[in-house]
Structure 1
Amino acid sequence: MSTTPPTPDYELVDTIVLTEPAQVRALGDPLRNTILGLLHERAATVTELAAAVKRPKGTVAHHVNVLVEAGLLRVVRTRRVRAIDERFYGRTARMFYVGSGQSAGSDPLPLDFNDFEVAARESAGAYQAHQLWAFIRHARLSEQEAAEFWLRIKDLVQEFDRVPRSGDTTYGFAVGIYPITDYPTLPAETD
């Protein structure tokens, strides 16, 4: 029986609630999200990340520093290479989510912080190739029921995050619950 190494190859907490606008802004850049996604697999150096995203090392280093300053990345180990300590970066948590820690008068969340917009952009090729698996459903729920359902969804997302990276194809997984104010509803039943 073979044992699969944990994903990623360093210790991290399961979740961190993002309560600072700077943390949320750090996630607002597609390249930084890609870097965070790559680090689900294993810790990596700036050089490795730059090669993976095909961007200059200086550009990637800048984005890594933004993520470190926001508390989303940290150095998880180092190794000595020709008298220089090479840093391996890893995520600080398996999952980040925006919390309700914003107080009155603080900066609002950026309008471009929308995972569905990112998913729509990423999934266009899969849709055109008839390889997009998706559902959208609507249900009238109480706030409590929606919150309970969201907890179950978070468990599924955490399971997806823990899947060992072993295949040749990267898959996206987008989920969400959102209130709709103008969705039609049936009138109350009459006897």
Structure 2
Amino acid sequence: MPDQPQPCPPPQQPPPRGVVDIESPEQHAALAHPLRQRLLFSLGHEPATISQLAVRLDTAKGNVAHHLKVLRTAGLVRIAETRKVRGGTEQYYQRVADRMAVAEPRTEGTAAMLGAVAQELGRSPQTTLSLRHVRLSPDKARELAETLARLVDEAEEGEPVHGVLVALYEQVRPGEDTADATDTATRTPTGTA
């Protein structure tokens, strides 16, 4: 049996350091689908091809290609490298930054991100999930948000990759209009990992 051609190893370059601010309607729309969120999760540590992403996410290559196009049009992913393979061209996709900050989250994007996290949790061999409600002053809430962000930033080392979702939000009091709560709430940028 002849030897099968071996695929080229993926480029070993992490996404560019930095933060992309999610502000445009195209960016918000791109984040409003769980598969696009999962593509961003998967591209968070190294570039990958459409075929590699389809295998990782257990979906069709055409589906991956479509959603990558939406993410690329919104400026959230880019082509990191192109290689000639068996007479064709293989493109490695990469996130444009290692973090995405959403200063004013929209319901659709948050729902898609939480749906994507739920799918990832369902496939994970190791999961910790905890929801707590605590009473905090605005200063203490800001301090907690900064501490959680710092802990996650300092924790990264080696393999395997773990997903970390950090959310700090103020609950709307019974009978309070959500528009009033938004006006008085302190907004802290959240990230899509």
Report the CA distance between 1:69 and its aligned residue.
Answer: 0.9
CA, structure 1 residues 59+181, in 2 after alignment: closer, same or farther (shift >3 Å)?
closer
Matches within 5 A, 1:1-191: 9-100=13-104, 109-111=106-108, 113-114=110-111, 115-116=113-114, 118-119=116-117, 122-123=120-121, 132-142=128-138, 144-160=139-155, 162-164=156-158, 166-167=159-160, 171-182=162-173
Report the CA distance between 1:83 and its aligned residue.
Answer: 3.6
CA, structure 1 residues 156+24, in 2 after alignment: closer, same or farther (shift >3 Å)?
farther
Q: Which amino acid aligns with 2:146?
A: L
Report the CA distance between 1:53 and its aligned residue.
Answer: 1.6
TM-score by length of 1: 0.69
Q: Kindly, what percent of the aligned residue pairs are identical?
A: 28
Between the aligned partners of 1:45 and 1:171, the Cα distance in structure 2 is: 21
What is the SS of the residue equivalent to 1:113?
helix
Q: Which amino acid aligns with 2:110?
A: F
TM-score by length of 2: 0.68
Between the aligned partners of 1:11 and 1:40, the Cα distance in structure 2 is: 7
CA, structure 1 residues 111+46, in 2 after alignment: closer, same or farther (shift >3 Å)?
closer
Report the CA distance between 1:26 and its aligned residue.
Answer: 1.1
Q: Which amino acid aligns with 1:39?
A: L
CA contact (8 A) 1:95 1:158 kept: no
What is the SS of the residue equivalent to 1:63?
helix
Pairs aligned (count): 162
Q: Which amino acid aligns with 2:42?
A: L
Task: Name the Cα RMSD after superposition.
Answer: 3.0
Gaps of 5+ in 2: 1-11, 175-193
What is the SS of the residue equivalent to 2:78?
strand
